[in-house]
């Protein structure tokens, strides 16, 4: 058989980690930069308990956690936290609000978070946890 190009699967995980970190950091930054009022109001409207506490916590998790994912630090722990966040979003907001799964971004972020929690950071990470 001819030679096959072999690429370490860790590079695919790295691509997922970088894309996920970028998306989350941008969303977290947006929540903080606009002021937390709109996020708190939204959390309250969709019935998230303690929106005045939950919205700032999620904004900081997304901003700080997204940046940490970009550099490849605490990847498994952050993957677990983000998996919990997006599981809640899918079950609490997306499914009840639409009657079917229309939250494609949330579902992809849930899958990416699970991958990172299970596999770790891939390549080019400051810490291989």
pLDDT 10s digit of each residue in the chain, 129 long?
Answer: 556 888 899 999 999 999 999 999 999 999 999 999 999 999 999 999 999 999 999 999 999 999 999 999 999 999 999 999 999 999 988 888 765 557 889 999 999 999 999 999 999 999 766
Structural domain including 114 reads 10-119
Closest residue by Cα to residue 62 from 20, 104, 122 = 20
Q: What is the pLDDT of residue 4?
A: 83
In a domain, 1, yes or no: no
In a domain, 94, yes or no: yes
In a domain, 99, yes or no: yes
pTM here is: 0.90
Overall domain count for the chain: 1
In a domain, 2, yes or no: no
Q: What is the pLDDT of residue 94?
A: 86
In a domain, 49, yes or no: yes
Q: What is the pLDDT of residue 73?
A: 96
In a domain, 74, yes or no: yes
In a domain, 24, yes or no: yes
Q: Tell me the residue length of the chain.
A: 129
In a domain, 4, yes or no: no
């Amino acid at each position: 058989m001819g030679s096959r190009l072999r690429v370490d699967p860790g590079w695919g995980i790295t691509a997922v980690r970088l894309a996920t970190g970028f998306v989350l950091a941008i969303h977290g930054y947006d929540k903080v930069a606009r002021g937390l009022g709109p996020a708190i109001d939204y959390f309250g409207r969709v019935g998230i308990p303690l929106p005045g506490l939950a919205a700032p916590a999620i904004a900081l998790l997304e901003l700080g956690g997204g940046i940490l994912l970009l550099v490849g630090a605490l990847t498994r722990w952050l993957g677990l936290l983000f998996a919990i966040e997006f599981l809640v979003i899918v079950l609490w907001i997306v499914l009840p609000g639409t009657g079917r799964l229309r939250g494609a971004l949330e579902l992809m972020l849930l899958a990416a978070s699970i991958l990172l929690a299970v596999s770790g950071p891939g390549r080019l990470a400051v810490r291989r946890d």
